[in-house]
Amino acid sequence: MASAREMRLRIRSVKSIAQVTSALETVSAAKVRRAIAAVNATRPYAEKSWKLLVHLARQPGHTSLHPLLAGRSEVKKILVVLISGDRGLAGAFNANIVKDTLDHFRNFPAQVSYIAVGRKGRDMLLRRRREVIAEFSDIPIAPSFASLSAVGHLVVDEYLQGRVDEVYLAYTDFHSMVKQDTVIRKLVPLDVQYADDRVVAYNVTHHKTTSVFDFEPDDSQILSGIIARFTELQVYQAILTSQASEQAARMVSMRNATDNARELISSLQMDYNKARQQAITNDMLDITGGAEAMAAMTKTKETA
Amino acid sequence: MPIRCEVVSQDRIVFQGDVDIVNLPGLDGDMGILPNHSPVLTLLRYGVISIKTKTDEQFFTVAGGVAEVQPDQVTILADAAENVDEIDIQRAESARKRAEEALAKTPQTATDEYLAIQAAMRRSNLRLDAARRFKSQKRTH
């Protein structure tokens, strides 16, 4: 058994671990709230933009309207925007999103390249020798739309330049503090069928009117402006959602770590107390044993 | 029949309610929207949206965006929007001063930066003008 001193040191170190993890838990809890507030704040705009996009995509003859709405007959190269976190200590958050994404595209009949949002995802992709064409990291909690429009801009650019034929978005959707799951969906070209998918069901309310819009100044000008912007917004929203999920995952895993540390402390404390008591008992036995031996010795001397 | 009007910017709902007339700063000129307007999709320029009900008139600055007009609803997706009554004139003024100084300092060759500052300048000018015109007008009523 370890000495009492060693055990005291262990208890102290586990205590300080518990302190750190519970501090991280508190910080993450605050960040979850901020990230969720940011997601909720973008929802009205995103919902309406999505509605408008779907509506535009369903206009008769939409394939001739805008290349972002028009699918390509042959898909040779695809791009995946993989959204992960910059830091670990978030349970299986980063591992899950990367694993799910890689599984999803394992047997994909096209060449796959990635844009990594978040350092952890980038590292894991590079370790597996995937092609990463761009990386975005050090994103603050609840970033402004302007500071992240570059991600969406790059996506739109890559597609319009013809370097890729489809773009997918892979991120972690936030359901609750304890439930987050991976969502992989096609971002570009806009797939109108996918509007029925449960994934974005909350985003979709169909227009009552089937009327065709007048466009001012003209349709191509409006569409090229707004479709690109709305695509960027979808990326922005995915990043915010993923942030909420990451912080929630971190909070839960830190809470577990704190609980485990507390349990460990109490069991160590019990062992330590036992060891200490054992040591005292041993000392007592030694003393009484010694005293008895002394007494026996003097007795034999006297009789001699 | 009132029109359902919503002004939404990327980070919040700026206005939501049933109104009678909406005036939009369209790219090709102002548009007055009354109920049963034909469906239109239009780009907006920098300008002021006015929203009228029978009893009230409200003004909003908008820094570009898109408006979707349906017979019974108007949805404005603004790149940035603000109720004129929320604008603090003093702060708007100092913001314009800062933009002016930055504009003077930046060489025109730094295109991206120059354009960004120019946009900030236009925004602050718009806010200031709108606040002066419409905020004071409200007070005299």
Q: Which amino acid is at A193?
A: Q
Pairwise CA distance, residues A64 & A188, whole Å: 15
Residue A217 contacts B where some CB pair is shorter than 8 Å:
yes
Closest CB from B9, B11, B41 relative to A213: B41
pLDDT surpasses 80 at A219 = no
Report the CATH number at residue A54: 3.40.1380.10
Instruction: Kindly report the length of chain B.
Output: 141
CA distance B25 to B46: 7
C-alpha distances out from residue A213 to A47, A64, A189, A256, B74, Å: 19, 16, 22, 55, 13
Q: How far apart are CA A29 and CA A104, in angstroms?
A: 31
Q: What is the DSSP string of A121-183?
A: HHHHHHHTT-EEEEEE--PPSS--HHHHHHHHHHHHHHHHTTS-SEEEEEEEEEEETTEEEEE
Residue A199 lies in domain: 31-254
- Which residues of chain B lie closer than 8 angstroms to A209, CB-CB? 39, 70-71
Min Cα separation A10/chain B (Å): 49
Chain B residues within 8 A of A222 when measuring between CB atoms: 41-43, 66
pLDDT above 70 as % of chain A: 87
Residue A206 pLDDT: 46
H or E segment and range at residue B17: strand B12-19
Q: Which of B10, B38, B42 sits opposite A45 (nearest CB)?
A: B10
Is A98 found in the same domain as A231?
yes
Same domain, A116 and A11: no
Average of pLDDT values for A233-260?
93
User: Among A207, A219, A233, whose Cβ lies nearest the Cβ of B10?
Assistant: A233
Helices and strands, counts by H and E, chain B: 3, 8
Torsion sign across C-alpha atoms A240, A245, A250, A255: positive
Q: Compute the nearest-CA separation of A225 from chain B (Å).
A: 9
Instruction: Tell me if B77 and A48 make a contact (CB, 8 A cut-off).
Output: yes
Are A184 and A190 in contact by the 8 Å Cβ rule? The answer is: no
Picking from A107, A126, A209, A121, the residue whose alpha carbon sits closest to that of residue A171 is: A121
**pLDDT tens by residue, A155-171:** 988 998 999 999 999 99
B112/A contact by beta carbon, under 8 A: no
* Whether A216 contacts chain B with CB within 8 A: yes
- Would you state the pLDDT for residue A200? 44
pLDDT surpassing 50 at residue A136: yes
Is residue A118 left, alpha or beta, with left meaning phi > 0 and alpha meaning psi from -120 to 50?
left
Do A63 and A142 belong together in one domain? yes
Q: Are residues A169 and A284 in the same domain?
A: no
- Flag if B40 and A214 touch (Cβ within 8 Å): yes
Q: Are residues A49 and A13 in the same domain?
A: no
More confident residue, A25 or B79: A25
The pLDDT mean for chain A works out to 85
Name the most confidently modeled range: A195-209, A226-240, A283-297, B102-116: A283-297
pLDDT at A2: 67
My answer on whether A187 and A289 are in the same domain is no
Helix (H, G, I), strand (E, B) or coil at A106: coil
**What is the least distance, in Å, from the CA of A123 to any CA of chain B?**
31
A215 has a chain B CB within 8 A of its CB: yes
Where would I find the H helices in chain B? Answer: 89-105, 111-130, 136-140
Residue A286 vs residue A207, higher pLDDT: A286
Q: Are strands A77-83 and A166-176 parallel, antiparallel or unpaired?
A: parallel
Q: How confident is the model at residue A153 (pLDDT cuts 50, 70, 90)?
A: confident
Residue type, A92: A
> Is A283 in a helix, a strand, or coil?
helix
Asked if the Cβ–Cβ distance from B8 to A44 is below 8 Å, we say yes
Contact A45 B41 (CB under 8 A): no
Q: What is the predicted pLDDT for the residue at A216?
A: 74
In 3-state terms, chain A is what percent helix, strand and coil (to 5)?
A: 60, 15, 25
What's the pLDDT tens digit per position in A172-217? 999 988 899 999 988 888 765 544 443 444 444 444 445 667 777 7
pLDDT at A193: 52
Please tell me whether residues A168 and A284 are part of one structural domain: no
Shared domain check, A174 and A90: yes
Both tokens of A258, joined, read: 């704190």
Question: CA dihedral defined by A88, A89, A90, A96, rounded to 10 degrees?
Answer: 50
* Contact list, B28 vs chain A (CB under 8 Å): 216-217
B115 touches chain A (CB under 8 A): no
Helix or strand or coil: residue B88? Answer: coil
Number of CB pairs, chain A paired with chain B, less than 8 A apart: 71
Residue in chain B closest to A208 (alpha carbons) equals B70
Q: Say which of A44, A45, A52 has its CB closest to residue B68.
A: A52
A26 part of a folded domain = no
Residues A250 and A262 placed together within one structural domain of the fold = no
Cross-chain Cβ contact B41/A214 below 8 Å: yes
Closest residue, chain A, to B77 (C-alpha): A45
CA dist A174 and A176 (Å) reads 6
pLDDT for the residue numbered A289 = 92
Statement to judge: residues A64 and A131 lie in one domain: yes
Q: Does residue B43 belong to the interface with chain A, where contact is any CB pair within 8 Å? A: yes
d(CA B129, CA B137): 12
| pLDDT of amino acid A111 | 93
Higher pLDDT, A301 or A286: A286
pLDDT at A97 over 90: yes
Question: What Å distances lie between residue A291 and A44, A278, A283, A296, CA to CA?
Answer: 86, 20, 12, 9
Distance CA B89, CA B97 (A): 12
pLDDT in tens, chain B (141 residues): 889 999 998 878 889 999 999 999 988 889 999 999 988 888 898 899 999 998 888 999 998 888 989 889 999 998 888 888 888 888 888 888 888 888 888 777 767 777 778 878 888 888 888 888 887 555 544
In a domain, A260, yes or no: yes
Does A289 share its domain with A146? no
What pLDDT score was predicted for residue A207? Answer: 47
Beta-carbon separation of A45 and B8 below 8 A? yes
At residue A21, the pLDDT reads: 94
Q: How many domains does chain A have?
A: 2
B27 chain-A contacts, CB cut-off 8 A: 216-217
* Domain co-membership, A187 together with A263: no
Task: Return d(Cα A287, Cα A52) in angstroms, integer.
Answer: 90
The mean pLDDT of A98-127, rounded to a whole number, is 94
Tell me if A156 is assigned to some domain: yes
Which pLDDT score is estimated for B141? 47
Q: Tell me whether B26 touches chain A (CB under 8 Å).
A: yes
Question: Are the Cβ atoms of B43 and A145 closer than 8 angstroms?
Answer: no
